[in-house]
Amino acid sequence: MFIGKVESELSEKEEVICPICGEKMEEYSYDYNTDTNEKIDYKCPNCGHRLCILVE
């Protein structure tokens, strides 16, 4: 299930906020991710929640 926004919905200065704890999420690169041009992965440093944003 996809929970998040498509990249075009994010402004350049908008932060990605964790829906669980409300903290700012950081970009996270998974070692197994080969589709780096298709999505951006984020991970919350506070609670560990992960989020994927699709790139158009």
pLDDT in tens, 14-55: 789 999 999 999 998 876 766 657 788 899 999 999 998 887
pLDDT at 44: 96
Helix (H/G/I), strand (E/B), else coil: 26: strand
pLDDT at 25: 96
Find out whether 56 and 8 touch, Cβ atoms under 8 Å: yes
pLDDT at 5: 53
pTM strictly above 0.95: no
Domain range for 13 is 1-56
More confident position, 19 or 13: 19
N residues, the chain: 56
The total of structural domains in the chain comes to: 1
